[in-house]
Amino acid sequence: MDLEFDKRWRDLLKAQTERFGQPVDLNGLLFLIGVQELGQDVRTYKKDEKVNLMHIAICVLLVPYGYYKELGRDPDGWPHFERVKDLPPLEAKEQERLMKEAILAYFSE
């Protein structure tokens, strides 16, 4: 078990929970990153838009690992990505760890 990693993750969740005044989890952080990367005014998003925002976040988070590259934005301002290489087969815990590592890196920049 990586105690330093776990502490950094808990500290990030605590900071974001305090910032937004409600509990934040992995999916919540993905949504927030997607909204931030979209860069549009705060508004209410439809269900399919929320899924797309989380997809944006995942792509942004995996760009530094070489799995995606950004192609640009469409006329509505939504970013589009291209998969550069396939992710290796990962079990659920490994996928979660990769996302957490990428999120920690994102918020440390």
The single-letter DSSP state of residue 67 is: S
pLDDT tens track for 12-33: 999 999 999 999 999 999 999 9
pTM of the predicted structure, to 2 decimals = 0.90
Number of folded domains in the chain? Answer: 1
SS3 70: strand
Q: Is the pLDDT of residue 1 over 70?
A: no
Domain range enclosing 23:
3-108
C-alpha–C-alpha distance, residues 10 and 69, integer Å: 29
Q: What is the average per-residue pLDDT within 39-62? A: 92
Do the Cβ atoms of 38 and 49 come closer than 8 Å?
no
Give the count of alpha carbons within 13 A of 104, CB side only. 16
